[in-house]
Every structure is written in structure tokens, then in C-alpha cells.
Structure 1
Amino acid sequence: MKSITKEVCYVKQLELFHPFKYTYEKFDFTFIDLFAGIGGFRIALEELGGKCLGYSEVDKEAIKVYESNFKNLPEASLGDIRKINKLPFEVDVVVGGVPCQPWSVAGKLKGFEDPRGKLWLDTIRVVEINKPKVFIFENVKGLIEPINRKSFEYIVNSFAIIGYSVKSQLLNSYDFGVPQNRERVFIVGIRNDLEHHKNFSFPEPLEIKPKLYSFIEGVQHCSKFSKSKLAAEILFGEKIPRSRNRFQKNDELNDFFIFCDTRDGHTTIHSWDIIRTSEREKLICYTILKNRRKKQYGAKDGNPLSFEVLAQLIPKLKQKELNKLIEKNILRYIENEGYEFVNSKNSTGINGVYRVFLPHSDIIPTLTATGNKDYIAKISIEGCENPEEYKSKFIKEIYKKKKFKPISAKDAGRLQGFPDWFIMAENEDTAKKQFGNAVPIPVVYHLMKTLLNQVKFDQKL
């Protein structure tokens, strides 16, 4: 009995690394891979039995990686989507991750005014000319935000006009077996002449609850980790922050630490926590932190505070005390305005570190092409009865001893569901950028399998 349980656990563990290893369902269909990137869609569809007839990509570095991983005939490259017209073959499925920058904050939300936004028009055109049975397209959450609502409705209505029943849904990578909090909108179209074109429903979340330590190399495995339960008022005081997400329990310590001087919280690490500072210096810093956003001191979301203001807030304040904090690179003085933190932008972190996630965490935030300052601790922390002990232990055992690591390209690949056989770009930064741009493979796999079953594609024997 013990060996059987052990074997089941082992199989589940392997499924996390190789999401398709124990799947035997194969279907008979062909597809083309638009905006192919490094092949995330293709891996998922080929695992389900699909045959790729062509791919479209213009990024030369992505094409190198794509072609090193997949066997392609020379004519399989369809080139720039803007030049694709009637294909010399019939195709069952069209998939692709249409460029997302026009609909994201990082891309300045230009939508169809961005040349990359107009690629949706080419996508619609290619579908209309070639009339595949089904299609799946992926994009950022921003595409369905209120600011882009009209553009999104235009896209959906355009597909409906050319003969497709269209549905969309926001899917999170975490719900399909990888520990990444990555929400993406998936648009599914089924040709109206197919018998089951109105029956499609999106896949339900899997029962697998992944943890970071199962995917990241070189960190402590915490399968027997237990979290302490603490009252919400101990963790947050009088008010629980509205910014908390589904992965943060109100009666548990956070699974991550944020390095930030301009905000506070039970796992926020400030610059005055990690270098030698007196209680008096800490008081000065906290006074600035608590007052910098008050409207009486200015209209900014964070205002420099003058010596006169600080002298009213801090009894017997001396100029030399502020000068000492400037010497320690915690404060800086802005001419005619006052004192502010050197680390005055939230996402820049401190000393190149923004967040450190413990290995027992459920998730890492969304991986991006531009990268971030997120790290993974090599060990976990448990047995703490209050936030002060938790923070102190983290600084002493993890931060000071440098027991944390950046997310490597291989880590990023696994967090996107790429199998270990995948040949990534030789340059580490290029590989991380490409994985950040990629589609999460397990999401596509389970979405496509659901679609193939519901639309009644033939299964291979």
C-alpha cells in the first residue's frame, strides 16, 4: 500500500514537469501556427495528434529557436501574416498569440492605432479566406478591459460576420498545472456549419495545485510545509488591503517579501531594515513613509517633505539626523521641495531586488518579455508566530546569506509549461524574453483537447 501511494505521488510530480506524459488521447487534425513565436501552441497541438502545415513568424531569433525544435519543410514557413492569402491546402485549425502590446499598459494602450494592433485585421482576413473548422487566439487581459471594450467587440463581431460562433474567457495558468499567476484571454471560434458549433464550453480548472519548488531548480522541496494561522488584525491591523489576490489568505503570512521603501506591509522589507540603523532613524523613515502621500503635503502620489514639516511631526528633529540618512543612501534632498526616499519607485525594488518568493509559494507573478526583479528563495521559513519574527528570520537566514536566486531561462520555460527536451535560445536573456512572450502550453493543451472533444474531431487509433 505504501509503495502504491508513493508511485501515485511520483506520477503526479512528473505530470507537473511533463503535463502531457500520461495522456493518450490523440486526434486527427491539421493546423497552422500564426504568430508562432517559439512554438508554444505547436507543442500542445502536436501532443494531441495535430499536424502542423505551416507557421508564420517574423522575429528572426524566435524563428531560429522554432526551427531548431520542429521538423519543417522549407515551404512550411508562411512568412509575414500580412502576405498570407489563400493557402495551397485545407486546414482544420488556426491558432496564434496575436501581438499583445497594443492592448497592454506596457504598449501604451494604442490598440488599433498601433501597427501591431492592425494585425488582428490580417488574422480575421486569413481566417475568412481559408475557413478553418475552428480557431484559438490568445491575448493579454487588457484586450477585454473597459478601455479596449469597443476594439474587443469589433474583433468578436468580425469573426461572427464571417461565419463563426465565438466565445472568449480569461484563463489563468495556475488553474492548469503551473505555478504562475498569468491571466490571458482566449478567443475560440467554431465554424457555424459544424453540428456542435454552439455547444462549446471552456475547460474547468484542474485539481493539480502546483508549488514553485516543483518547477525551480536549486531550491528546497517543501512538500511537508505547514503554514501558521494568525488573526487578520495581527497581519494587517485595522484594515485588510484591497489589493490582495486569490493566492493571499487573510489569516496566513504572505509567501513572498517585497523590497520597497514607499509602502508597508507584514512582509515589506525597507532599506532601513537591511542596513544598520538606529531606532531613531527608523522612526524618521516611518514618519516620512506614513505622511508622504497625504494631500496636505502636495498633490503627488508621494511628496517630498520639508525640514519644517518633518520637525512638526518628529520631536526635537535635527538637520544632522537627516544628513546621516542621506549618507546611508536612504534619503535624498530635492532643492526647494524636501526629503524623499532614494528608492522612491515601487517596482524598482532595493539593490536590484523587488520581490523574493519562498519555494512553497503557489505562484510567481506573470512572466514578461521585459523581465522583472523577482527572485526565488532557496529555503522556506516556518514556525513563526508573528510578522516581526517572520521578517527578521527572512532577513537573517535568506537575504543576508544570499539564499535566493533569479529566475533562470530554464525556470521560466518550466513555469510556462515547456518540456525539458525543448531547445531554448543559447543567450540566457534572449531565452527568458522568448519564454516571457510565449503562450502557457498546458492552458492551450487543455483548451484544445476540450475543443476537439466537443466539436467531435475524429480520434486516432
Structure 2
Amino acid sequence: MQLSDNAQQLDLFQLFKPNLVTIQTKFTFIDLFAGIGGFRIPLSELGGVCLGYSEIDKEAIKTYQKNFVNNTDSDELFLGDINNINKLPFDIDVIVGGVPCQPWSIAGKLKGLDDPRGKLWLDVVRVVELNKPKAFIFENVKGLMEPRNKGSLNYIISNLTTLGYVVKSQVLNSYDFGLPQDRDRIFIVGIRNDLDNCWGFSFPKPLDKKIKLHDVIDGIEKSDFVKKKFAPEVLYQGGKVPASRGRFQKKDELNDFFTFADIRDGHTTVHSWDLIDTSAREKLICKAILKNRRKKIYGPKDGNPLSFQVLEKIIPNLNQEELDILTKKEILRLVEDKGYEFVNSKISSGIDGVSKIFLPHADAIATLTATGTRDLVATVSLECQQPELYKQDFIQKIYQPKKFKPLTAQDYAKLQGFPESFQIADSETTAKHQFGNAVSVPVVYNLAKALLEFIL
């Protein structure tokens, strides 16, 4: 095992470009909702020339211009707000853009096309109609494809199709294109229907190249131990694999991350009563509340406060003093006229500012966001392969000695596949916000490569 350093880190943009013949023919594009250039980097690498870019965020514009515009002699146009873009004074081959995603994101208000930012799709349609590019690529959050937004997605695709385009959409995950990040995004691609082979486009297949967090993030321990396989009855109560498990939770392996939450359970869920001095009896009380808090007989919420009268029926010989002690330890709190609930009642908030800690050998970290994350990375490896000891081993060897770190803005850049030469914003907070909003560079590279074969 060894600590990775800057010299060993990977320039993911260079590493995960396909070994295909470079497209020699130049093409032109405009960059809508340009952000900091997640679309521009791969399109330029593929031979594209940017004729104009549109963005309204002042800090994003500074970063974009520092990396692309101020270092060239081109006469490309700053197009400003998309609302002001009409027929351009030049022909363009491709229009790209990451349309603001908040209206469709679970982190936003879910107002869809009723949100002013959702209505920007109407401007997208208008710009396409006026300028008739050969093709376009637009990106958004996966939420746009969910059932509640089906009508909005159909409306967008229908309007683009009516303009004379063959339109296809698909969710692509950054992990499938060489990044250790679990990031699903929908891509809407259109090819003008008067072009030869306009129906031939298909989305790129996942790459075979896979790396882990320790290949990308500075200062964390690298290990290559082989993980053991377990039968379901060893890892899960009753042997039943929970349906809610995600893509990066193998049903026959120990998880590569630990979640800090009092309102859920699992073999790598760390509770507040695991982290402070609590008796076996106190743990029993907490687990009884955890088991019953979501039952519909106690209320309609996804987790309901439970009164003493309810608790004394499900916990043998319960007395008020026991609940008072757990309240003083700040594990429980009393909600007036309702009952007791956990203080740490939101998964996103975690416990003491920690939501998840990923181990160095994890395949992927959770989706980076513009609003930041409470997901951290362990700086040392954990090779314990005994399910009954796994969580306690983690607490003793990683959590208690604080052998974990937050992600830096430079880590964000690498996890999004930006090249090493990219100049990030001076403010760490601003840079993280910008990368969290950005599109993953290798995903666009592979998608655009597949598309350009049908329009050039």
C-alpha cells in the first residue's frame, strides 16, 4: 500500500479518450449555458471551433474566459443571456449546453416548466429554430426523465422534433466513461433530418476502463486487496437484500462507504449511539424507535415522532427517565404534543457534519453538486472482511482518529474529468460550486465523438 501523490495522479481527460482516429474535419459550435467549459474542452479536442458562448453567472464567466477566451486571438462572441440570442451572423454546425437543472432536481423545488429556469428550454428551442444547426447536445439532471416530469420531457422533445430533427435521449453515468463518480445525467441529442444517416446515431457504450477513488484523489492510501464474497444471510437481516441498494452496493460484498444516519440501518450505517458512550439498553431503545418510526400506523410521514405511550408498548419495561437520558445525550428530542424523534433526522445532514465516508478503494463517490457535499474520503484503507467487526473497525481505525478528509476543489476537477492544465477559480467554495454544476468532460467527449461521425 502507498499514499498517492501528485506525480501519480491521473489526468482523466487524457486517459479516457477513446483510442480512435482523431476527427480532422473542423466544425463550429456555440456553447449555451457555458458554465466553466465542460462542453467546450472535449469539443475543441475533437476539432471544434467555438464561435460564441452564453452565460450569465459572473464568476463562471471569469473562469471560462481565463481558460479559453483571453488566451486566444479569436473573435468569438460573448452572447450573454440566452434570452437575447436570435439569428446569429454565422452558420453553426452544433449547439451544446447544460440547461439549468434545478427545476427538475430533487435538490430544487421541482417546478419544472413552471420555474423561470425551466422555461429556458423554450429559449433553447427558439435558438435552434432560428439557427438550424446540423446537430445539438443538451444535458440535464436525470430527474427530467422521471415519471413526474414525463410530460415536460415529451414537450421538449416534441418541440425540437417539430423543428426538423431526429431527437434521441438517454441517461449516461460518468462512471461508465472513466470517472469514479456516480453521476447520472440525461443527454438530449438531435440531428437535422435532411442530413444523410440522420437516423443512424446511437449513444456511446460504456468504456472498459475503470478506476477507483485512490487513483484520482491526492493523499489517500492505495490498496489492491481482494474483497470476499458473502451469502445474503450473512450481510442482511433475514437474508433479504434491500431493494433500495444502489449500483455501487454489491449484494454479496461489504459496502465501500459508511453512511452516518440515525433514521436508516444497514451493515455500514453508523448511528449516533455507535459514536458515544451508550449502554446495551440504550441501544435497544434506539433500535426499537428506528424500526418503528416509519410504520404507517404511527403517522403518514416518512418517519414519525413516537409518544411515550407508543414506545412503552414496543419497548418492555420502558420508563421516562431512560428517554430523558437519551434526550440529554442529544440522540433523541421531544417534539411537543407528538413524541420523540432522532436529533439526526436527515440523511443529507448526516451526523456532526458527516454524511458519508468513502473508502479509498471505492469505485465511485456520490454525485458532486453545486451546493456542496458532506461526503468525505478516508485517507487510509480498511481491509477488514469480517461483517460482524466491519463497522466497529471503521469507527476505531478511521472515524475516531479522524483519518478522513473533505474533497478539495482540485479533487472536484479530477472527478469531473477536467484536464490538469485547467485554471480553477481562486475561491475554493466558488470552484466547488462551478465543478458541481459542470458536465463531466469524458462523457461529452465520447458522446460528441459518436455524434460527429453522422454530421461531418
Please indicate the TM-score interval, normalised by the length of the shorter structure: over 0.9
The Cα shift of 1:297 comes to 2.8
Relative to structure 1, the CA distance from residue 195 to residue 115 in structure 2 (aligned partners, 3 Å threshold; closer, same or farther) is same
Q: Is the 8 A contact 2:258 2:356 kept in 1?
A: yes
Cross-structure match for 1:173: 174
Q: Which amino acid aligns with 2:23?
A: K
Q: Secondary structure at the match of 1:446?
A: helix
Matches within 5 A, 1:186-225: 186-222=187-223, 224-225=224-225
Q: How does 1:194-343 map to 2 (within 5 A)?
A: 194-222=195-223, 224-238=224-238, 239-343=240-344
Cα distance change of structure 1 residues 50 and 290 upon mapping to structure 2, 3 Å threshold = same
Match in the other structure for 1:446: 446
Aligned 8 A contact 1:16 1:214 in 2: no
Q: Equivalent residue for 1:26? A: 23
Distance 1:115-1:367 versus aligned 2 partners, 3 A rule: same
Q: Which deviates further from its counterpart, 364-373 or 24-33?
A: 24-33
AA aligned to 2:309 is E
How far does residue 47 in structure 1 lie from its aligned partner after superposition? 0.8
In the alignment, residue 44 of structure 1 is paired with which amino acid?
A: P
Q: Identity, % of aligned pairs?
A: 62
Unaligned runs of 5+ in 2: 1-6
Q: Does 1:54 align with 2:52?
A: yes
Count of aligned pairs between the two proteins: 445
Which secondary structure does the structure 2 equivalent of 1:395 belong to?
Answer: helix
Give 1:111-190 correspondences, 5 Å limit.
Answer: 111-190=112-191
C-alpha change, 1:427 and 1:21, in structure 2 (3 Å) is farther
* Per-residue deviation, 1:16: 6.5
Query: Following the alignment from structure 2 to structure 1, what is the Cα–Cα distance between the partners of residues 149 and 334?
Result: 41
Q: Which residue of 1 aligns with 2:418?
A: 418
For each residue in 1:392-439, what CA deviation from the matched residue of structure 2 results, as whole angstroms up to 9, or x when unmatched? 110000000101111111111111111111111111111111101001
- 1:269-291 Cα offsets, whole Å, 9 max, x none, are 00010111111111111121112
What letter matches 1:113 in structure 2?
D
| CA drift at 1:17 | 6.4
Give a deviation string over 1:276-316, Cα, whole Å, max 9, x none.
Answer: 11111111111211122223333332222222333333333
Q: Is the 8 A contact 1:16 1:210 kept in 2?
A: no
Q: Distance in 1 between matches of 2:281 and 2:155?
A: 59
Q: Which residue of 2 aligns with 1:104?
A: 105
Change (3 A) 1:130 1:234: same
What is residue 5 of structure 1 aligned with on the other side? none
TM (normalized to structure 2)? Answer: 0.93
Confirm or deny: 8 A CA contact 1:32 1:55 kept in the other structure.
yes
Q: Is the 8 A contact 2:103 2:112 kept in 1?
A: yes
Distance in structure 1 (CA, Å) of the matches to 2:226 and 2:94: 45
Q: CA deviation at 1:63?
A: 0.1
Which residue identity does 2:397 align to in structure 1? E
- CA separation of 1:136 and 1:311: change in aligned 2, threshold 3 A: same
What secondary structure does 1:447 align onto? helix
Conserved 8 A contact 2:171-2:187: yes
Counterpart residue number, 1:353: 354
Unaligned runs of 5+ in 1: 1-9
Query: 2-side partners of 1:203 and 1:12: how far apart?
Result: 26
For residue 365 of structure 1, give the secondary structure of its aligned residue in structure 2: coil
For residues 407 and 157 of structure 1, what CA distance do their matches in structure 2 show? 40
**Structure 1 segments of 4 or more deviating over 4 A?**
10-18, 20-24, 72-75
- Equivalent position SS for 2:222: coil
Give secondary structure in 1 for the equivalent of 2:453: helix
SS at match of 2:136: strand
AA matched with 1:199: G
Contact kept, 8 Å, 2:11 with 2:414, in 1: the verdict is no
Q: Does 1:63 align with 2:64?
A: no
CA RMSD, Structure 1 to Structure 2 (Å): 2.0
Q: Which residue of 2 aligns with 1:370?
A: 371
Query: Relative to structure 1, is the Cα distance of residues 69 and 323 closer, same or farther in structure 2, using a 3 angstrom cutoff?
Result: same
Cα distance between partner residues in 2 of 1:286 and 1:57: 50
- Counterpart residue number, 1:42: 40
- Matches of residues 396-411 of structure 1 in structure 2 within 5 Å? 396-411=396-411
Deviation at 1:24, TM superposition (A): 6.0
Please give the alpha-carbon distance, in whole angstroms, between the structure 2 residues aligned to 1:42 and 1:61.
17
Distance 1:12 1:37, change over 3 A: closer
Deviations 1:63-99 (A, max 9, x none): 0000000035565201111111111111111111111
Cα separation, 1, equivalents of 2:335 and 2:121: 47
Residue type at the aligned position of 1:60: K
Structure 2 counterpart SS, 1:325: helix
Instruction: Flag the 1:70–1:393 CA change in 2: closer, same or farther, 3 A.
Output: same
Q: In the alignment, is the contact (CA less than 8 A) between 2:213 and 2:361 conserved in 1? A: yes
